[in-house]
């Protein structure tokens, strides 16, 4: 019985932490019938922007999210938009947004940044709800170096060598000793940080398949007919998760000289 109770408790807390992403994904699904048509002068992507902003304001108003957490999300949003603009440029064409929009920057509808913000929101809320702590966490200088180079590699790999495998190895060497502790009722659960990131990357990859199926964005090979996103994208999400997590840890918590991290009170 305790096992069932803990599973239900974990599921409810995880769903609460991911509420931004879950609501956004549901909006992707239920808005598909809008297609390329305009309603009251706005398009599907515009209404997704209005919906995402409404979620954000509601979470702040209801105190489901703090202003400190909102700062993390806003920073990640801006960084994601810069990356999106570069990678959706016709000269690069990593993916594209097939439907029209009023509110956009060059090739990227403004709602797109909120897809990444949902990841930052999940980390911020999850760390607080599960009372997360870290042990053997590397220095912020080391983590930030890896995160920034991973971010830059997404954009520079088209003009110089793709260093993702070097970054994977570096992340393993940096975090293989790091452990995550989170509370589940009266129990404290311990897990390798790398395992948690890998599981989350797979979950986001699944959400990415849902999003492309409902034509939120498309990869070049999906234009003629939809197919599942390649497994290699799990690695991309893993590196993006690292960037988001490092920002969250730096802004929301404190690390001592022995590598113990806890959220600021």
pLDDT tens, residue order, the chain (265 aa): 576 777 788 888 899 999 999 999 999 999 999 999 999 999 999 999 999 999 999 999 998 888 888 887 888 889 999 999 999 999 898 999 999 999 999 999 999 999 998 998 899 899 988 889 999 999 999 999 999 999 999 999 888 888 999 999 999 999 999 999 998 777 788 999 999 999 999 999 999 999 999 999 999 999 889 999 999 999 999 999 998 899 889 888 888 888 899 887 6
In this structure, are strands 261-263 and 179-184 parallel, antiparallel, or unpaired? unpaired
- CA dist 187 and 104 (Å) reads 46
- CA dist 200 and 206 (Å) reads 10
**Terminal alpha carbon distance of the chain:** 34
Quote the radius of gyration of the chain (alpha carbons, Å). Answer: 19
Q: How many domains does the chain have?
A: 1
- Residue 60 lies in domain: 2-263
- Kindly report whether the global pTM for this prediction surpasses the value 0.85: yes
Tokens 């930030």 found at: 144
């Amino acid at each position: 019985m305790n096992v069932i109770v803990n599973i239900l408790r974990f599921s409810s807390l995880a769903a609460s932490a991911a509420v931004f992403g879950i609501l956004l994904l549901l909006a992707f699904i239920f808005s598909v019938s809008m297609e390329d048509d305009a309603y009251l002068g706005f398009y599907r992507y515009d209404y997704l922007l209005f919906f995402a902003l409404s979620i954000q304001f509601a979470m702040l108003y209801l105190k489901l999210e703090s202003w400190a957490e909102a700062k993390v999300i806003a920073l990640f949003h801006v960084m994601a938009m810069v990356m999106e603009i570069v990678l959706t440029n016709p000269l690069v064409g990593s993916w594209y947004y097939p439907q029209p929009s009023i509110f956009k920057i060059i090739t990227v509808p403004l709602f797109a940044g909120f897809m990444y913000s949902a990841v930052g929101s999940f980390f911020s809320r999850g760390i607080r709800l599960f009372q997360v702590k870290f042990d053997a966490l590397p220095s912020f200088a080391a983590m930030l170096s890896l995160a920034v180079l991973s971010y830059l590699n997404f954009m520079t790999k088209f003009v110089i060598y793709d260093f993702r495998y070097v970054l994977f190895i570096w992340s393993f060497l940096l975090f293989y000793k790091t452990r995550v502790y989170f509370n589940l009722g009266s129990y404290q659960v311990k897990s390798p940080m790398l395992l948690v990131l890998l599981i989350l990357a797979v979950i986001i990859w699944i959400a990415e398949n849902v999003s492309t199926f409902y034509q939120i964005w498309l990869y070049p090979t999906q234009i003629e007919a939809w197919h599942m996103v390649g497994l290699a994208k799990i690695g991309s999400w893993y590196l993006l998760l690292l960037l988001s997590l490092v920002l969250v840890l730096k802004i929301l918590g404190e690390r001592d000289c022995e590598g113990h991290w806890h959220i600021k009170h």
